[in-house]
């Protein structure tokens, strides 16, 4: 037990100076007791906010809050400024350029504070992320044929549901194991035709960071398809399709037509 251990309550209640806070966070990395006590405090106070007597916020607050929020720069805005480099291609059948994510400049907001990182590993109070879609077992004959002489295998196949019920939309995503990489194949039907320069853009996300993963425009019958080579090491967790104003969007700007966990 060191003097630092006496700072736990003030740390939890945000009463330490910046210097004291840094010092306590350093202490947390070596003091199992404090980590455990901090975790316990979090757990024991988890629901205490629910004791509040329900009060309706003023109706005008919503607009005010949303406007204030949208005036702020978001991580997406910052990324847009940050990397204009990733290449794009657009065509109806295929595009292939291995996604090698650009080594992004580390942004301050991405880096969790030491304490947060610790809590991440510590709190783990049994909450399991609800699986939004389960991986389907697919018979081999259903595998989308991929021209090759190498032996491909299907890593995952998903039926993709539109994000709004009123959008008629049918899509399927297949991830195919190739020799050194994986290929993402997205097939869609009943697509709404795009206007002017609009395109359908496929995104793969990792912890909320979007990566371009295929661009297409629908054929006359409303069908569309894109293929994209991906780095299996990336560990993407989500797939999304948006309608973008044109094929150059580096981050999603347009309407999200589909969103599904991988």
Partner 1 sequence: MSERDAKTYVRLKLGDKEALAQLYDQYSKLLYSFSFKMINDQQVAEEIVQEVFIKIWTQKSSYDETKGKFSSWLLTITRNTVIDYLRKRKETASEMVTKEMNQDLEPSIEDQIEWKEKRTTIDQAIKRLKPEQEKVIVLFYYQGLSQQKIADACEIPLGTVKGRIRLALRHLKDTIEDIEQNGGIIHE
Residue ranges binding partner 1 (CB under 8 A): 6, 8-10, 13-15, 37, 40-58, 61-62, 64-66, 68-70, 72-76, 109, 112, 119-121, 123-125, 127-130, 132, 163, 203, 205, 207-208, 210, 238, 240, 242, 251-253, 256, 259, 261
- Return the number of the residue (52 or 87) whose C-beta is nearest partner 1: 52
* H runs (alpha helix) in the chain: 8-12, 18-30, 32-45, 61-70, 75-82, 114-123
- Return the number of the residue (46 or 142) whose C-beta is nearest partner 1: 46
CB of 220 to partner 1, least distance (A): 29
- Return the number of the residue (126 or 145) whose C-beta is nearest partner 1: 126
CB of 69 to partner 1, least distance (A): 4
Structure tokens at 186: 């997205």
Residues 85, 91, 92, 98: is their CA dihedral positive or negative? negative
CB of 57 to partner 1, least distance (A): 4
- Return the number of the residue (209 or 247) whose C-beta is nearest partner 1: 209
Buried b (16+ CB within 10 A) or exposed e, 63-100: eeeeeeeeeeeeeeebbeeeeeeeebebeeeebeeebe
- Return the number of the residue (152 or 200) whose C-beta is nearest partner 1: 200
Q: What does the DSSP assignment read for 51-82?
A: GSPP-PPPTTHHHHHHHHHHTSPPHHHHHHHH
CB of 152 to partner 1, least distance (A): 29
């Amino acid at each position: 037990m060191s003097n630092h251990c006496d700072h736990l309550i003030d740390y939890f209640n945000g009463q330490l100076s910046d210097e004291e806070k840094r010092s306590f966070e350093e202490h947390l990395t070596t003091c199992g007791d404090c980590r455990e006590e901090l975790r316990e405090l979090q757990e024991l106070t988890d629901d205490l906010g629910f004791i509040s007597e329900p009060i309706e916020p003023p109706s005008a607050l919503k607009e005010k809050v949303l406007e204030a929020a949208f005036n702020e720069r978001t991580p997406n805005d910052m990324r847009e400024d940050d990397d204009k480099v990733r290449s794009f291609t657009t065509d109806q059948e295929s595009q292939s350029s291995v996604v090698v994510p650009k080594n992004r400049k580390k942004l301050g907001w991405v880096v969790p504070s030491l304490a947060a990182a610790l809590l991440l590993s510590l709190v783990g109070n049994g909450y399991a992320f609800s699986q939004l879609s389960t991986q389907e077992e697919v018979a081999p004959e259903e595998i989308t044929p991929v021209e090759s002489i190498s032996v491909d295998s299907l890593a995952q196949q998903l039926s993709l549901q539109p994000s709004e019920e009123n959008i008629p939309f049918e899509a399927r995503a297949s991830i195919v194991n190739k020799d050194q990489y994986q290929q993402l194949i997205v097939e869609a039907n009943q697509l709404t035709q795009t206007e002017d320069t609009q395109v359908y853009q496929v995104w793969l996300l990792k912890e909320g960071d979007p990566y371009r993963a295929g661009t297409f425009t629908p054929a006359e019958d409303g069908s569309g398809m894109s293929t994209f080579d991906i780095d299996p090491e990336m560990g993407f967790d989500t797939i999304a399709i948006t309608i973008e104003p044109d094929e150059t969007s580096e981050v999603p700007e347009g309407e999200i037509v589909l969103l599904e966990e991988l």
